[in-house]
Every structure is written in structure tokens, then in C-alpha cells.
Structure 1
């Protein structure tokens, strides 16, 4: 009998303990659900409230570059030839340190291109540029660093990123450039009867000093292949499944140089050049075809003059701003620096654990 009583008491105590444990679990689940509902009630612009968790990210970019400068179709700040858009690529690494901002650094590579043949000879503003017939290409290697400022905050961290966001990017950059020109087959500055040095090759224009940078007594300063710029951009990001976003960025580069195209100041009289290749690449107005496209220019009127060295030199009539009796004249506009525009499509990888997220509403 005593054993049965003890067994019954044990069963009762086991039942009581089980009931108490079940009630505790029920209350714990209710408390978690209540906290989750409170968290969701603090929803802000696509991000669930809570403690912000910083995270890092990497991206790979496909870029498109456009050039604005002295060799644009017309003399306007926004003038460019879309057909000269050149491809590029880049990589970025960044750290989102607040709900509203990230710091980002990256490298971009791409090519710029400009050609006076894109100027319409039928337009008054464009005609002098068409006569000038200069062209270039320039491979840009850029390292930049700056801040992304987002329109919508992300309070919770990487796993509850907004499905869509807009940001502004501002920073600083250093880039390496080296403008090059395609040498014509003949020396048309002396009439086109002699083969040009390095004919058919792409040569570095900076090292030639096409505006007299290496001449004794010249007031035109040499320019460095390393330059600074200020990148400004607006971008948008779209969340993809898993730890990925896709982004589109439209970026403008304010450059601190006017020599991305190797054109800025005035022509140098032909007889002052010691290097015949520098003379040929400084004035290409007498060439019968455009260097890159091969478009016929035989209708351009050519004039000749004998200079102090006794040589007869040729250039187009009414060239650019016109050469005066000494052979000088306006080659470019030194008052405005060159500009660059970069369109970027990027795939962004969120580094670290992203986990499950609250459903978008």
C-alpha cells in the first residue's frame, strides 16, 4: 500500500512539473512573438528596426566611358559622341558602417576616345573642329575612394536589406593616363611625299610635346600621366536572392587636367619642332583622310607657306581658330578642363552571414 501511495505521489508530481514546464514554454513563445511584432512595427523604409549590424561587400563592375573635351563634336560642356563610348571594368570593396552610409574604394579601367571627324562640317561651331582633324585614345586606370549616402536606411544589417535603394557617391580619385595618336602613313605637313616616322603606329603624344612642352623658352607646362579627379555619382541597388545585389551607377568625373586628349592651348609653328613626328602629330589638318575611320577629307582646302627654315609647310585653310602669319593659332580651349562620364553596372556580394530575413511588405 505504501509503495502504491509513493508511486501515485510521484506520478502527480511528474504531471505537475510537466504542466509547469509546458506553461513556461508557452509563455516564452508568446514573449518571442510579442517582441517580433514590436520589431516589425518599427519598420522604416524597407529595414526592420533593431540594432544595426555593420557588414562588408565586394562588387565586380562592367563600365562604359564617355569623353567630354576639346575633341568633342562642338564647343559645349555636355558635347560628346555616343558612338565613341568605350567599354571598361572595375572592382570595389566597401564597408557599411551606418544605416545610411558606406565607405567604398575601388579600381576602374577603361578607354576614352575622341575624334574631330565626329564634328559636322555643315555647322558653324563644328566646322573648325572638322578642319583640325585631331584624334586620340587614352587608357584610364583609376583608383577611387569615397562615401555612399543612401536614401533609405538599413537599421537591421545585411539580412534585411531594402529591396530597392538609391544613393549618392562622392569621393576622390587618382588616375593614370597616356593619350595616344595613330600616326598617318605620310608626312602631310610637308606635302605628303615622305613616309612619316612610325607610320601606322599608336604613339604616346605626351612624350612628343605637341604643344611645345619640350621647346626652349616655351611657357606651356609639361603634364603628368598621374592626375587627380573628383568622382560624383548617383546610383541604385536592387536586392537579389541570397547575399547579392545588383546596382546601376551614373558617374561624372571632374578632372584636374585639360590634357586627357593632349589638346589644350595653341599651335606651335612647324619650323620650331626638332622632332618631325611631334610636328606631324601637332597639326593633322592637311591629311586627306581621318586617321581612325578613313573618311575622305579631300574636299578640305589646303594652303602652304614657306617658313624661316626654308621649308614649305601645309595645313588647311581657316584651321581651327586660324594660324596667323607666324604659324601660331588656337589649337584647344585651355579655360575648361576635360571631363569623363562613367556608366557602371555592378554585381554586389554581401560578405558574411546574411541568414533569413523578414518578409518584404
Structure 2
């Protein structure tokens, strides 16, 4: 979490520099978050949608390009009980995780668009891409309570058992990519509908990646709670699942945040380089 807060602080300290731009916007995102991984295999599965919200600052580079900094929050979750595959039903795992991210994104409009400009297009589809730093904290539910899974080492992390490593990092980076469509409402306000997926480099958004450790040994090294949340099958504690597939480490996880954004222009002035392209009448 400390690394994530450092990244956010850097973005905040850059604000005074960016605010010298002639055309600037603030945006509020309200929407949904979801994820793709072992417990939910479709990124845009409505059954896996949870609330998301975000704030961003955007500056104009020209009528086609913008640069924006943002902070977003979303909850992701998944449950094997909601999946149709027999493997998922047998595994019987579930999780939730609150994801906070700080992003730096470039935005490209297919048509010249600026909220502050008089002659801007009224509607413009756009693409976004950049880099994200995020903090995630998967939790599992048992006996009426939610527990943080990373400290437990449910796949034997930190236990010293054979073929297990150290605990995964909860602060990671990702490559965001997505797009949407924006609508000019006035010279002060515009509305955007977008979805931005984040390609991560971790397979532990859901705390599921490799194989089952020996359950008895895991209970002895990491505690009975780790063992109970590691194996939720009907054969838990028997050892029958030891070293059998629990996840797929070769397929890294994704998460998505999207929805409706209200954009407010905080400066109506803009320089010539930010004006839309047009031909002067003589």
C-alpha cells in the first residue's frame, strides 16, 4: 500500500504544473468494475460487476490528443458457484478484492473534440492507453467473516514447503487500454461512456494461480485458517488434491473499470495549438 500511496502522491504533486494548461478538465466516473481470472473467465460478465468510481484531471495537447491523470476505485469478485464448468463447481473457491489504482493515460479522439472550443465536434469516439499502478487485497469468506488471503499464503507462499515461493505483492503495475464515446453538452460540460481494461502481470488478483499444497503441512506451517481457505472442496483435509491443479499460472489476470464520466472544463481558454482544425472564410 505504501508504494501505491507514493505513486498517488507523485501524481498529486504534478497537478500544479499541469494546471498551467490553457484547456483543462476535471472528471467524475461512476460505473462498474469486473475482473477476468481463474474464478471469472469473462471480463464483461454482468454477474461479476461491482461498483466503481474515479476522479481524473485532463489537459489538452491538441484537438485529437489529451493526457490525463486519474485515481479509481472498484471492487472485483468471483465465485466458482456461479460458473458452469464442473472443475469450478468442484473447486468451490470465491473471493472479493478492493482495487485502488492511479493511472497516467493518453487519450486519442477520432474527431477533433474539445469541450471548451466553440467549433468542436459534438460527438467523438476515442481510445485510451497508458500505465497504471494498483493496490489489490483479495479476501476469502469462511465462518461468517472475511479474511485477507495474501498474508495467509493459501498456496503455500512463505511456508517453506516444496515448490512454494514468497508471498505475492499487493502493489503491482498494469497496462490499461480501452475506449469510449464522448458527447459535448456545453462549453463547460461533456459526458463520456467508456470501459478501460487493465492487463496485469500477476495471477493473484483472485489469490488462485498454481496447485494445491499439502493441506496438513500447510495447516502446520501457515495455520489452520490458511488450510481451510486453500482447499474448499469436499475432499479438503484428505490430501487427495495435493499438487493437483488449483489455477493456471500461465494466464495472467485482467480487471476492468468503466461507466459514465461527467467532465467539467475548469478553463475555457485554449491556445492555438488546442483549437480544432478549421478553414477560415475570407
Same fold? TM cut 0.5: yes
Per the alignment, residue 157 of structure 2 pairs with 213
Structure 2 residue aligned with 1:116: 80
Deviation at 1:174, TM superposition (A): 0.2
Residue 134 (structure 1) shift: 0.2
**Counterpart Cα distance in 1 of 2:44 and 2:181:** 24
Structure 2 unaligned residues grouped into runs of 5+: 1-20, 271-282
Aligned to 1:236: 181
Count of paired positions: 246
Q: Distance in 1 between matches of 2:74 and 2:114?
A: 36
Does the CA contact (< 8 Å) of 1:115 and 1:136 recur in 2? yes
Equivalent residue for 1:91? Answer: 55
Note the C-alpha offset of 1:80: 6.1
Name the structure 1 match of 2:268. Answer: 353
The answer to whether the 8 Å contact 2:28/2:54 transfers is yes
**Aligned residue among 191, 204, 210 for 1:265:** 210
TM-score normalised to the size of structure 1? Answer: 0.64
Residues 119, 130 of structure 1: 8 Å contact kept: yes
**Equivalence map 1:79-228=2 (5 Å):** 81-120=45-84, 126-154=85-113, 158-184=117-143, 200-218=144-162, 219-228=164-173
Distance (whole Å) between structure 1 residues aligned to residue 115 and residue 226 of structure 2: 61
Between Structure 1 and Structure 2, the one with more strand by share is 2
CA shift at 1:328, angstroms?
Answer: 2.4
Instruction: Give the TM-score, by structure 2 length.
Output: 0.81
Give the Cα–Cα distance (whole angstroms) in 2 for the partners of residues 163 and 145 of structure 1: 25
Provide the alpha-carbon RMSD of the alignment.
2.2
2:226 aligned with 1:278, yes or no?
Answer: yes
User: The residue matched to 2:56 in structure 1 has which SS?
Assistant: strand
Runs of 4+ in 1 over 6 A off after TM superposition: none
* Contact preservation (8 Å) 1:143, 1:173: yes
Structure 1 unaligned spans of 5+: 1-52, 121-125, 185-199, 287-302, 305-312, 316-321, 356-361
Deviation readout 1:259-314 (Å, 9 max, x if unpaired):
0000000001112122000000000112xxxxxxxxxxxxxxxx58xxxxxxxx34
